[in-house]
Amino acid sequence: MTAGMRVLLAVMLSSLVVASVNIALLAAGRGDWRAHPLNPAAAGSETWGRRHPSIADRHGGALFQSARGGQEDAGGVPDREGGTLRRLIDWNVEAPGNAGASTTLDGRLQTAAVGALGSLSGVVVIVDVHTGDVLALADQTGPGSGPLAAWPPGSVMKLLSLGVMLDRGLIGPETTFPYEEAFLGIPNAIGACGGTVEEVLGTSCNSAVVRAGRRLAYEDLQRAASKTGFGTPEMLGIEPSRLPSPNDVDETTWPLVLIGQHEVRLNPLSAAVLVAAIGDGGRVHRPQLDATATTPTPTVLFSTDTAEILLEGMLQAASQTLGIKDPEIAIKTGTAESGLGYDHGWVVGLAPATKPAYAFSVVLPGEPGASYSGADAAEVAARLSEDFASGTGNN
């Protein structure tokens, strides 16, 4: 072998060894990438499950048991893809690596949420009204969409619009809206409607909301919306809730914004946070999934009076939608038009209705060939209601 070939051989071998050793050092822990907050494995319940005998829920029960222990499904909470809490890999971004194996999730509620969805493609989020703890997070929208995507909210948005209007004094408990079939060209789904704020919510009356909302400032709506997670930065594919920019809002589109159309997008987590605030007298809690994290101080979204009015409106909505005189849950449905020939079905609610402990949101995103309405989502809520009533959700 010539000297040149020897040099070449030495250079090639040393380069290969150096490059391989660099990769090996990464695998051995250099850089501490394993515990990086953006590492899906570090944050994900599923991978915790591989490193720990089990992942505990808030009661100490096993949410996930190690596959290596041969008990993958025992006590685990399934999702539609056959995995166990698979989608949480992408979601839980704040929990620290190994220490964060204790989550706020409630295994029984998580199972109830997955069961309520059944074979439907959708999302169910349940949060603790008084702490903001995420108790269940069932995302069965499939791999095609990101975890917790945001969709047009439809009439669910009226809770926020009317709440801000009540707080700003634009309307009040004494306000009575005229009965009319449409206002500014926006019709009502049920024909003529009006009456008190509670009745407007109960019948999901578009004309009343649009009429009152003419005097509402964009900035006031935006300020309140931001407290429920609107406009937060996107992270790990979680799509933030958002309002259209002020430049995209004019006299024609503003009424549509008030009723949850025209570029308004709502994340089911934000929806649950919004309705939880109504259940907690207007106080909004930042959602938490890490049981070891300190509970943040709540901020005020609505006044107590406003929250009570909205809760009463949701009770009326529950009566009308579910056909029950004294419903055990308070809900608000929404049917959002996509403009593509299919609709998205929404429902948000509180349980128990008289003394809310749980806030939930359900969204059934439409797609070509599959259109959903608020009534469809309400059926999921009704199944959840049975679980709440049967004690599944009792702590």
Partner 1 sequence: MTRNPGIEALVLPTWAACGGALLAVAGRSAWRRIPLVRWVPGLVAAATALAAWSSERGLYLVLTTIAVGLAARRSLRVAGSGLQRAIAVSALCLVGIGMIFQTRLAGPDNGALLAMIVGIGCIAMAHRISAAAAWAVERPWLLVVVGLALYAAGLAGGAGASRTEIPFVLRGVVVAEAARFAVVGGIAVVVVRRRWAWQLSAARSEMAAVALATLGAMVLIGLTGDIGGGVLLAFGATVIVAVLIERVWPVAVGGGVMLASAPALLLVSDHVRERLGSWQQWTVDGKPTQQLLANFAIADGGLLGQGVGNGDPRTVPVVESDFVVAGLVNEVGIVGLALVSMMLIAVVAGGLLVASRSLDSRLAGLAAASCVLLGSQAVVNLLGVGGLAPLTGVPFPFLSRAGTYLVVTCLAVSVLVGIPCGSATNTSRSHGRRIVGGGEA
Task: Decide if residue 47 touches partner 1 (CB under 8 A).
Answer: yes
Question: Can you read off the two tokens belonging to residue 39?
Answer: 């590492």
Maximum C-alpha span of the chain = 100
Residue 8 in the binding site for partner 1 (CB under 8 A): yes
Can you tell me the distance from the alpha carbon of 381 to that of 272, in angstroms, rounded to the nearest whole number?
13
Rounded CA-CA distance 298/174 in Å is 29
Q: Which stretch binds partner 1 (CB under 8 A): 15-23, 200-208, 290-298, 338-346?
A: 15-23
Tokens of 47: 């991978």
27 is a site residue for partner 1 (CB under 8 A): yes
Establish if 74 lies at the interface with partner 1 (CB under 8 A): no
By rule CB under 8 A, what string of x and - marks binding of each residue 195-234 to partner 1? --------------------------------------xx
The SS3 call for residue 209 is helix
Strand order in the sheet with 123-128: 134-139, 123-128, 358-364, 343-351, 330-337
- What's the burial of 206, exposed, middle or buried (CB within 10 Å: 0-12/13-18/19+)? buried
Closest-CA residue to 287 (of 219, 240, 222): 240
324 lies in the binding site for partner 1 (CB under 8 A): no
Q: Which stretch binds partner 1 (CB under 8 A): 16-24, 295-303, 310-318, 352-360?
A: 16-24
Angle separating helix axes 206-213 and 157-167, nearest 10 degrees: 40
Which of the stretches 20-28, 98-106, 127-135, 292-300 binds partner 1 when contact is defined by CB under 8 A? 20-28
Does 237 contact partner 1 by CB under 8 A? yes
Answer yes or no whether residue 144 interacts with partner 1 by CB under 8 A.
Answer: no
Identified binder of partner 1 from the candidate list 45, 65, 84, 373, rule CB under 8 A: 84
Interaction between residue 3 and partner 1 (CB under 8 A): yes
Instruction: Using the rule CB under 8 A, give the single segment among 75-83, 133-141, 268-276, 305-313 that binds partner 1.
Output: 75-83
CB closer to partner 1, 110 vs 155: 110
Closer CB to partner 1, residue 48 or residue 177?
48
Residues 265-304 that bind partner 1 (CB under 8 A): none
Least CB distance from residue 67 to partner 1, whole Å?
A: 7
For the chain, first and last CA: distance in Å?
78
Helix (H, G, I), strand (E, B) or coil at 20: helix
Range 87-116, binding partner 1 (CB under 8 A): 89
**Where are the alpha helices (H) located in the chain, listed in sequence order?**
3-28, 40-43, 45-51, 88-91, 107-117, 157-167, 197-203, 206-213, 218-226, 254-258, 268-279, 304-322, 374-389
Is residue 318 within 8 A of residue 331, CB to CB? The reply is: yes
Residue selected from 170, 184, 186, 236 as contacting partner 1 according to rule CB under 8 A: 236
Nearer Cβ to partner 1, position 229 or 334? Answer: 229
- Pick the piece of the chain touching partner 1 (CB under 8 A) from 29-37, 316-324, 370-378, 387-395: 29-37
d(CA 115, CA 72): 19
Residue 10 vs 182, nearer CB to partner 1: 10
**Binding flag, residue 73, partner 1 (CB under 8 A):** no
Q: Measured between alpha carbons, how far is 205 from 14 in angstroms, rounded to an integer? A: 75
Asked if 186 is part of the footprint of partner 1 (rule: CB under 8 A), the reply reads no
# residues contacting partner 1 (CB under 8 A) = 47
Q: Write the CA distances from 298 to 163, 247, 360, 385, integer angstroms.
A: 18, 31, 18, 27
> Which amino acid belongs to residue 157?
M
Q: Which is nearer to partner 1, 42 or 277 (CB)?
A: 42
Interface region with partner 1, contact rule CB under 8 A, candidates 79-87, 173-181, 293-301, 367-375? 79-87
Does residue number 2 form part of the binding site for partner 1 (CB under 8 A)? Answer: yes
Give me the residues that bind partner 1 (CB under 8 A), please. 1-5, 7-9, 12-13, 15-17, 19-20, 22-24, 26-29, 31-34, 36, 38-42, 46-47, 50, 67, 81-84, 86, 89, 233-237
